[in-house]
């Protein structure tokens, strides 16, 4: 079939694809020309193309200090944890929600779980503060004090934050993932479950042997996409929730917050572009690698 006939045959499908493709082109592809900024010392008065090239100078600040290790470690570990824990919890909730026979109740639970996702990180930061504040926080005044324990200065003790941040992240984002997995679970053909029921399979067995294999492609695709963003930390979570407390940086500083703080006064778009490019390049390589691995084991689940 010639190219022209292919187009003619699929014209409606292509038409439907247009808005999305145009959106991607304008928002994601055209701006890629801007990557040159990462290698330039930008001077607006001569325009970006005429600004002098500086090679990799703009990238240096990312690797210059001992912070480079801290922020890379924090970003990778937190994101790896999120990538692993999110599907486990979300799939569990999706299966449970699917079993709730009262549709009204199921909707209610679902909405309650979804709600935090729509809260701005600033609001979440202050919700956290109302729990953790040293003097007035709920945990210190209503839990630790009656138990006779000393108040904890949450905002100056870095050691608690590797637990606090994942809890907040899961609480805030789990509703969103659950909805996606729930849609996949609902889409599974009921005949599988009926057959399983005939064979006397328990709910647990059904979940393990039917539901999980059926939604595996979704889990893998979402996982792959998350891996592509492994160096991009959730800025709101890591900046607002610890209230930007300096004492907590050893466990809360990630690449995004470091870049923001370091360039706040300089406002140098060359250096911030460099940081963005670095994150994207690493993400790109990781997606390719992980996809390659997935293809080795299960060809039909791979992205490409």
Partner 1 sequence: MRSIGRKGLAAWTAAFAVTVMLTGCSGKSGGNDSNAGNAGAGSPSAADSGGSPSASASGSASASAGDSGASDASKLAPYKITWYVPGAAAQKDQALVNEEVSKYLKDKINASFDLEVIDWGSWDDKMNLKFASSEPFDLMYTANWNGFAAKISQGNIIDISDLIDKYAPDAKEVIDPRLLEGSMVNGKHYSLPVNKEIASQWGVLLRKDLVDKYQIDISAIKTPEDLEPIFDTIKQNEPGVTPFYLNKDISILNIYNTNTFAHFDGGAGTLMKGTTDYKLVNAYDTPEIKGGYNLMHKWYQKGYINKDAATLQDLSGGLKAGKAFAYPEQLKPGKDAEVSTATGQQWVQVELTPPIIGTGDTQGSMVAISRTSKDPARAMMFLNLLYTDKYLVNLIAFGIEGKHYVKVDDNTIDFPPGVTAQTSGYNLNQAWLFGNQFNDYLWKNEDPQKWEKFKDFNSKAQMDPLLGFVFDPTNVKTEVAAITSAGKEFSSGLGSGTLDPEVYLPKYIDKLKAAGIDKVIAEEQKQVDAWRQTQQQ
Residues that bind partner 1 (CB under 8 A): 26-27, 30-34, 37, 41-50, 57, 60-61, 64-67, 117-121, 129, 133-135, 153, 155-156, 173, 234-237, 243-247, 249, 253, 256, 258, 260-269, 271-273, 276
CB of 166 to partner 1, least distance (A): 15
CB of 100 to partner 1, least distance (A): 27
Between CA 178 and CA 186 the distance in angstroms is 12
Q: Which residues contact 58 (CB under 8 A, 6 or more apart)?
A: 38, 39, 40, 41, 268, 270, 271, 273, 274
CB of 53 to partner 1, least distance (A): 14
Kindly tell me which of 34 and 213 has the beta carbon lying closer to partner 1.
34
Q: Is 53 helix (H, G, I), strand (E, B) or coil?
A: strand
* DSSP, res 28: I
Kindly tell me which of 62 and 302 has the beta carbon lying closer to partner 1.
62
The separation between the first and the last C-alpha atoms of the chain, rounded to the nearest angstrom, is 24
Kindly tell me which of 217 and 236 has the beta carbon lying closer to partner 1.
236
Helices (H), the chain: 3-9, 11-24, 60-63, 67-99, 103-114, 121-132, 138, 161-186, 190-198, 203-206, 212-228, 235-240, 249-252, 255-263, 269-297
Kindly tell me which of 215 and 262 has the beta carbon lying closer to partner 1.
262
Kindly tell me which of 119 and 196 has the beta carbon lying closer to partner 1.
119
CB of 276 to partner 1, least distance (A): 6
CB of 207 to partner 1, least distance (A): 30
Kindly tell me which of 37 and 215 has the beta carbon lying closer to partner 1.
37
- Four-CA torsion 55, 56, 60, 63, nearest 10 degrees: -170
CB of 90 to partner 1, least distance (A): 16
């Amino acid at each position: 079939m010639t190219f022209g006939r292919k187009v003619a045959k699929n014209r409606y499908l292509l038409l439907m694809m247009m808005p999305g493709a145009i959106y991607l082109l304008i928002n994601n592809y055209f701006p890629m020309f801007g990557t040159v900024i990462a290698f330039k010392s930008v001077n607006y008065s001569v325009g970006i193309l005429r600004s002098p090239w500086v090679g990799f100078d703009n990238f240096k600040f990312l690797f210059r200090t001992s912070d480079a290790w801290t922020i890379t470690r924090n970003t990778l570990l937190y994101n790896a944890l999120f990538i692993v824990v999110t599907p486990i919890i979300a799939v569990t909730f999706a299966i449970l929600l699917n079993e709730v026979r009262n549709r009204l109740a199921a909707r209610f639970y679902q909405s309650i779980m979804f709600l935090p996702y729509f809260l701005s990180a600033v609001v979440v930061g202050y919700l956290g503060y109302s729990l953790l504040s040293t003097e007035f926080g709920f945990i210190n005044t209503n839990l630790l004090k009656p138990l006779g324990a000393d108040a904890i200065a949450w905002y100056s003790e870095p050691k608690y934050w590797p637990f606090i941040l994942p809890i907040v992240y899961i609480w805030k984002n789990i509703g969103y993932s659950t909805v996606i997995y729930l849609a996949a679970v609902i889409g599974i053909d009921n005949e599988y479950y009926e057959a399983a029921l005939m064979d006397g399979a328990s709910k647990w067995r059904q979940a393990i042997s039917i539901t999980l294999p059926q939604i595996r492609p979704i889990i893998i695709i979402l996982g792959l996409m998350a891996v592509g963003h492994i160096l991009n930390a959730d800025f709101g979570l890591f900046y607002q929730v610890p209230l930007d407390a300096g004492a907590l940086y050893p466990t809360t500083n990630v690449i995004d917050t470091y870049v923001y703080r370091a360039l706040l006064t300089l406002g140098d778009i060359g250096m911030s572009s460099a940081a963005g490019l670095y994150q994207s390049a690493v993400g790109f390589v990781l997606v390719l690698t992980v996809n390659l691995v997935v293809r080795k084991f299960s060809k039909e689940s791979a992205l490409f």
